[in-house]
Amino acid sequence: MAELTFREAVAAGIAQEMERDPTVYFIGEDVAAAGGVFKATVGLLDRFGPERVRDTPISEQAIVGAAMGAAMTGLRPVVEIMFSDFLATCWDMVANQVAKTRYMTDGQVSLPLVIRTANGGGSRFGAQHSQSLENWAMAVPGLKVVAPSTPADAKGLLAAAIRDPDPVLFFEQKSLYGIKGEVPDLEHVDRLGKAEVRRDGKDCTIVALAAMVPRALAAATELDGLGIRATVVDVRCLVPLDTKTILGEVKKTGRLFTVEENPRLCGWGAEIVSIVADECFDDLDGPIIRITTPHVPLPAAQAMEDEAMPTVARIVDTIKGAMR
Amino acid sequence: MIAPRKGEARIDEKTRLRLYQLMVELRDFEQRAYDLFVENLIRGTSHLALGQEAIAAGYAVAMRKDDYTFCTYRGHGHTLARGASMAAAMGELLGRANGMLHGKGGSMHLTDVTHGAMGSYAIVGAHMPIAAGAAWSAQARKSGQVAVCFFGDGTTNIGTFHEALNLAVVWKLPVVFVCENNHYMEYTPIRSVTAVEHPAADRASAYGLEPILVDGNDADVMYETAIHTIGRARSGDGPSLVEALTYRHGGHSRGDPATYRPKEEVREWMTRDPIQRYRERLASLGIDDGALRKIDEEAQRKVDLATDEARNAPPARIEDIESQVWSDGGSAWRN
């Protein structure tokens, strides 16, 4: 075990897989010589050379398209889309081409590729560099969707994504890049589609993703002081979704709260609420409540952005109010 | 503009007969597809390449077996030209279980990876970066393969055209981009919506490429252009951008009678039909008419057999609706 930052863990995950598999290539804007605008790929160019670690022009359609063409012909490309907001400029590639081609050809084509992208708010960048877009990806059949919350998961889930035979969108919440955590030194490969229970409590279940996980954990600690014991589930992977773990924890506590960074409508939590309502309605002791960003583009100013995203205080207040 | 010369003497008779045979097969297949539409046996839409056969044939005959073809929704001909099964193509058009994609793709997505037909792409321009990616893979694997990407004139005004060309040149990728300029983006004349006269060739210099403007209705010219551009890609000299001038016999898609095209223009282009012209050239080169008639008859028989096989096949299987989203063969998104 070594203590790494989240960004170092991302680089370690890519390096581990490039070392192991010569068909893994990595491309993106400013990712090679500059080591990425978030410095999450520092050292890869030196270690693996310019054939396998390449800077691209600002051409998101060409980046994702090239990855697709390479993936269908024997490579295992990893690409970076600098900000998840820029997925909008290549959404045809992601949603129409990468996601659908296996199905439309009835399995003639396999697309083992990973699209890594910096996602989410908290950096005062304004509405076009701060969106939390996991739910866009989740709405398209044919894409796997991962969003880790810890450095260890960043390495292990990224390795699993690279080894996965299908296309994976890997969302790295940019406010997490600087956090530190223990990461296994040796080969570390996690499993897609498995949620983690980060904390056990008997009174309610909080389900959170990526940067909302540490906030949910902080809220749970505060709730302890109020006599409310909360379980926190880190979803980690939206597709495939570990409904077994989520349903199991909801059954134990009888209450469910989701904490979502995305704007209100059609957030991933809505799907979880629907599944819980369908499959364990009789286990519920009260209404299910979603804690989200309001349905607005994310504002830039510190005071506004901080208040718009779910805060620890809002999570505590909401749960306290609902559990009275 | 630099166009390869017509060096008739350099193309042998066997190759010429193969070019003729392919063009006739593609023509007969598309004509049959049209007839089946009229019978309402083919639903949805379809984009026929009647009149554009010389481009598909010229390139397919020049390609190595393991080279990659990427084409558009007007892709029946390009897919068949690589050797894909005609019965499977017809079955896909008819929505039958014997279809090339077992009913999941339809007319606009014909794909046969085993023959290097890497897909027909229905969003204009999307396949240009994808073809560049296949070329990148070939370059990385040092396989010597070349990717050939066919697209229409309308594609030259969408962003992927420019992104793909730039990347292909910067990375010196073994890819050939072939613009089939049939003069209409869909219903609108390409010249009325494009800043330059030749939508692809006039843009070549912006990417440091030689402008190549050729007669897309001449199978010999297309074959020679293919040999030249594929050879250049294979030897590591990077991509080419070709503009081949051609003309659709019919409309953009099913249900388009193409009344927007001046009658005089249509008449003029019909005199340059690639198959009729090639037949006359072969005759003038002394090739026996009987040999050509035999090719005509065999093509017709092949299309008849494919049609019968498809018509007799059961409908696409509803059990397959939820299969092959993922590599494990299924579509599970939760446990």
Domain annotation covers residue B2: no
Q: Please determine whether the domains at A2-183 and A196-323 fall in the same fold group of CATH.
A: yes
Q: Is there a contact between B163 and A92 if contact means CB atoms under 8 Å apart?
A: no
A66: distance to nearest CA of chain B, Å?
3
* Right CATH for A196-323 from 1.10.1740.10, 3.40.50.12780, 3.20.20.70, 3.40.50.920: 3.40.50.920
B123 contact residues in A (CB cutoff 8 A): 92, 96-97
Domain annotation covers residue B328: no
Q: Is there a contact between A240 and B334 if contact means CB atoms under 8 Å apart?
A: yes
Q: Is there a contact between B101 and A56 if contact means CB atoms under 8 Å apart?
A: no
Say which of A51, A70, A239 has its CB closest to residue B134: A70
B332: distance to nearest CA of chain A, Å?
7
DSSP conformational letter for A30: T
Which residue matches tokens 């659908």?
A100
Domain annotation covers residue B71: yes
Cβ neighbours of residue B266 closer than 8 Å, sequence gap 6 or more: B247, B258
Domain annotation covers residue B331: no
CB proximity B288 to A under 8 Å: no
Domain annotation covers residue B88: yes
pLDDT in tens, chain B (335 residues): 445 555 445 899 999 999 999 999 999 999 999 999 989 888 888 899 999 999 999 999 999 999 999 999 999 999 999 999 999 999 999 999 999 999 999 999 999 999 999 999 999 999 999 999 999 999 999 999 999 999 999 999 999 999 999 999 999 999 999 999 999 999 999 999 999 999 999 999 999 999 999 999 999 999 999 999 999 999 999 999 999 999 999 888 887 888 999 999 999 999 999 999 999 999 999 999 999 999 999 999 999 999 999 999 999 999 999 999 999 999 999 99
The CA-to-CA distance between both ends of chain B, in Å, stands at 60
Cβ neighbours of residue B304 closer than 8 Å, sequence gap 6 or more: none
CB interface of A with B, residues 44-63, below 8 Å: 51, 54, 56-57, 59, 61-63
Q: Is there a contact between A102 and B326 if contact means CB atoms under 8 Å apart?
A: yes
pLDDT of A317 above 60: yes
CB interface of A with B, residues 129-158, below 8 Å: 141-142
Residue B252 pLDDT: 86
Q: Is there a contact between A109 and B112 if contact means CB atoms under 8 Å apart?
A: no
B327: distance to nearest CA of chain A, Å?
6
Which tokens belong to A281?
């309605």
- For B139-287, strand residue ranges (E) read 147-152, 175-181, 212-215, 240-245
For range A158-185, the mean pLDDT: 98
Q: Is there a contact between A102 and B335 if contact means CB atoms under 8 Å apart?
A: no
CB interface of A with B, residues 197-236, below 8 Å: none
For range A8-33, the mean pLDDT: 98
Phi-psi region of B84 (alpha: psi -120 to 50; beta: other; left: phi over 0): beta
Instruction: Determine how many CB atoms are found less than 10 A away from the CB of residue A279.
Output: 14
B262: distance to nearest CA of chain A, Å?
35
Q: Is the separation of the CB atoms in B320 and B105 below 8 Å?
A: no
Domain annotation covers residue B323: no
pLDDT confidence bin for A243, thresholds 50/70/90: very high
What one-letter code names the amino acid at A269? Answer: G
Domain annotation covers residue B289: yes
pLDDT of A86 above 90: yes
Q: Is there a contact between A92 and B137 if contact means CB atoms under 8 Å apart?
A: no
Q: What is the separation of C-alpha B268 from the centre of its chain, rounded to a whole number of angstroms? A: 23
pLDDT of A174 above 70: yes
What number of C-beta contacts closer than 8 Å exist between A and B? Answer: 159
Q: Is the separation of the CB atoms in A201 and A157 below 8 Å?
A: no
Length, in residues, of chain A: 324
Residue ranges in B39-98 assigned as alpha helix (H):
53-62, 76-81, 86-93
B111 contact residues in A (CB cutoff 8 A): 104-105, 108-109
The string of pLDDT tens digits covering residues A254-277 is 999 999 999 999 999 999 999 999
Domain ranges of chain A: 2-183, 196-323
- To which CATH superfamily is domain A2-183 assigned? Thiamin diphosphate (ThDP)-binding fold, Pyr/PP domains (3.40.50.970)
Question: Catalytic positions of A, please?
Answer: 129
Q: Is the separation of the CB atoms in A110 and A165 below 8 Å?
A: yes
Q: Is there a contact between A102 and B164 if contact means CB atoms under 8 Å apart?
A: no
A142: distance to nearest CA of chain B, Å?
6
Nearest residue to B271 (alpha-carbon basis) of B3, B51, B55: B51
Provide the ipTM. Answer: 0.97
Residue range(s) defining the domain that contains residue B79: 8-309
Q: Is the separation of the CB atoms in B146 and B230 below 8 Å?
A: yes
Nearest residue to A30 (alpha-carbon basis) of A55, A7, A5: A55
For range A29-58, the mean pLDDT: 97
The CATH number of residue B298's host domain is 3.40.50.970
Instruction: Determine how many CB atoms are found less than 10 A away from the CB of residue B84.
Output: 22
CB interface of B with A, residues 105-134, below 8 Å: 105, 109, 111-113, 118-119, 121, 123, 126-134
What is d(CA B298, CA B290) in angstroms, rounded to the nearest whole number? Answer: 12
CB proximity A93 to B under 8 Å: yes
Sign of CA dihedral A24, A29, A35, A40: negative
Total domain count for chain B? 1
CB proximity A319 to B under 8 Å: no
A72 contact residues in B (CB cutoff 8 A): 113, 118, 130, 133-134
